[in-house]
Amino acid sequence: MAKTIQAVRGMNDILPAETSAWQYLEDTLREVVHAYGYREIRLPLLEKTELFSRSIGEVTDIVEKEMYTFDDRNGDSLTLRPEGTASCVRACMQHGLLHNQVQRLWYGGPMFRHERPQKGRYRQFHQVGVEAFGMPGPDIDAEMIFMTARMWARLGLRGARLQVNSLGTPAARAAYREALVDYLRTHAERLDEDSTRRLESNPLRILDSKNPDMQALVASAPQLPDYLDEESREHFSGFCSLLDVAGVAYEVNPRLVRGLDYYSKTVFEWVTDQLGAQGTVCAGGRFDGLVEYLGGRPTPAFGFALGLERLLALLLSADAQLPASDPHVYMVLSGHEAMQRGLVLADELRNAVAGLRLQVNCGGGSFKSQFKRADRSGAAFALVLGEEEIARQTAVLKPLRSDADQEVVAQSGLAARIGGLLADDSAGQGC
């Protein structure tokens, strides 16, 4: 027999047993971003390669070694999106969404990076991204943090720590860059291969290195906060005091830089110790230069992205109470007439009872095998129609998850009875 084909490494199927948790996570996040006035934008999975190489920067992990890039049949170089900000900015410019107006936008979906797959790190993974354009002050920076804090609260997640830093204005960053390069040059023999290459092209990224030897070197490097100019300092202290007033705890991490090149001023990450090495669940910051850099008018911008796989892992380890998706009722049918009537009755019940999840046994089978399926479906009740019930226009409603007695109900009264049971259930029982 031929070997069955497997999924691409690092690209996961999300199986039916897992989708309820995903939907719950996505619904909750959507509810929170909508509560702050953000609107969804849906973007293509494929973009011209140039969009990412320009916006993310040539000398980043993503552009150097993580992009899925190929020539299409016309010979155009295309790339599966590794992140969403670049596409979002492109779409906003292309459709004039940034002219004389502010925008609060969010998007979600799969991103693609050719990384080494491991727990919390995949080649296809999912993000929800949130971006705000046109707001220069620290108020929007802080509000985004409040929004993320609300997400954790709504999801029942505890233990995420907020780290913040300021990358300064481009001028402040340039001054810091010079000091950092001077320092690193004097320790050139200790730099690893990646860092040596980045020394000239993108030295700030060395601060972000995952190599422990580099982290030791970086620990005594000049620190970014010492190089902030007046404007950056004011923005950052304004931001921090808004967090203080709202009672949001944070730590300033002077070595926090973001992997992407286009950030300036505020940057932040939410980090947890519960996920091992892949502990960042949310990261973002201000990117005032990006729109202009991609050919638009200067436009202040702030945004972040959440890693859904990592959030989901936290959610599952927190034993969150997920909404059920099992059917409430499984309809068991015996005989041709019952099958005919059952299919119609099932739709009548779906029409009459809002939110009812009713699964009809299709494909025949003995009573015994149908009850087995009913049990496996997770349904709280079996609704049984046989010859006798057809003749009497009744049905038997049998609880599957409790010892309560079964009851015979007139078909005309079923909607009310089942509706009543569902209403009781929203107060907390087995449905």
Rounded-to-integer distance, Cα 327 and Cα 151, Å: 28
Contact region for ligand ATP (CB under 6 A) — 40-48, 158-166, 281-289, 358-366?
281-289
Instruction: Decide: 411 and 345 in contact? Cβ < 8 Å.
Output: yes
Nearer to ligand ATP, 65 or 187 (CB): 65
Among 24, 106, 107, 125, binds ligand ATP (CB under 6 A): 125
Q: Does 286 bind ligand ATP (CB under 6 A)?
A: no
Nearer to ligand ATP, 152 or 381 (CB): 152
Contact region for ligand ATP (CB under 6 A) — 29-37, 158-166, 199-207, 306-314?
306-314
Contact region for ligand ATP (CB under 6 A) — 39-47, 226-234, 302-310, 378-386?
302-310
Q: Does 144 bind ligand ATP (CB under 6 A)?
A: no
Among 84, 138, 303, 307, binds ligand ATP (CB under 6 A): 307
Nearer to ligand ATP, 83 or 261 (CB): 83
User: Three-state SS across the chain?
Assistant: CCCCCCCCCCCCCCCHHHHHHHHHHHHHHHHHHHHCCCEECCCCCEEEHHHHHHHHCCCCHHHHHHCEEEECCCCCEEEECCCCHHHHHHHHHHCCCCCCCCEEEEEEEEEECCCCCECCECCEEEEEEEEEECCCCHHHHHHHHHHHHHHHHHHCCCCCEEEEEECCCHHHHHHHHHHHHHHHHHCHHHCCHHHHHHHHHCHHHHHHCCCHHHHHHHHCCCCHHHHCCHHHHHHHHHHHHHHHHHCCCCEECCCCCCCCCCCEEEEEEEECCCCCCCCEEEEEEECCCHHHHCCCCCCCEEEEEEEHHHHHHHHHHCCCCCCCCCCCEEEEECCHHHHHHHHHHHHHHHHHCCCCCEEECCCCCCHHHHHHHHHHHCCCEEEEECHHHHHHCEEEEEECCCCCCCEEEEHHHHHHHHHHHHHHHHCCCCC
Among 88, 135, 191, 305, binds ligand ATP (CB under 6 A): 305
Instruction: Decide: 282 and 304 in contact? Cβ < 8 Å.
Output: yes
Contact region for ligand ATP (CB under 6 A) — 121-129, 237-245, 346-354, 421-429?
121-129
**Look-up of token digits 């015996």:** 334
Taking the complex as a whole, the smallest distance from the CB of residue 315 to ligand ATP amounts, in Å, to 13
Q: Does 161 bind ligand ATP (CB under 6 A)?
A: no
Taking the complex as a whole, the smallest distance from the CB of residue 100 to ligand ATP amounts, in Å, to 30
Nearer to ligand ATP, 18 or 71 (CB): 18
Map residues 80-99 to x or -, x wherever contact with ligand ATP holds by CB under 6 A: ---x----------------
Q: Which residue is nearest to ligand ATP (CB)?
A: 307
Among 310, 328, 341, 357, binds ligand ATP (CB under 6 A): 310
And the tokens for 356? 């009812």
Among 122, 176, 236, 381, binds ligand ATP (CB under 6 A): 122
Nearer to ligand ATP, 141 or 309 (CB): 309
Taking the complex as a whole, the smallest distance from the CB of residue 68 to ligand ATP amounts, in Å, to 12
Q: Does 121 bind ligand ATP (CB under 6 A)?
A: yes
Rounded-to-integer distance, Cα 399 and Cα 406, Å: 6
Q: Does 113 bind ligand ATP (CB under 6 A)?
A: yes
Rounded-to-integer distance, Cα 418 and Cα 422, Å: 6
Contact region for ligand ATP (CB under 6 A) — 303-311, 314-322, 338-346, 363-371?
303-311
Rounded-to-integer distance, Cα 111 and Cα 122, Å: 10
Q: Does 417 bind ligand ATP (CB under 6 A)?
A: no
Please give the residues from 259 up to 278 whose contact with ligand ATP meets the rule CB under 6 A: 259, 278
Q: Does 309 bind ligand ATP (CB under 6 A)?
A: yes
Spell out the residues 6+ positions from residue 362 whose beta carbon is closer than 8 angstroms to its own: none
Contact region for ligand ATP (CB under 6 A) — 71-79, 118-126, 334-342, 392-400?
118-126
Q: Does 281 bind ligand ATP (CB under 6 A)?
A: yes
Map residues 31-70 to x or -, x wherever contact with ligand ATP holds by CB under 6 A: ----------------------------------------
Residues found near ligand ATP in the complex (CB under 6 A): 83, 113, 115, 120-122, 125, 127, 259, 278, 280-283, 305, 307, 309-310
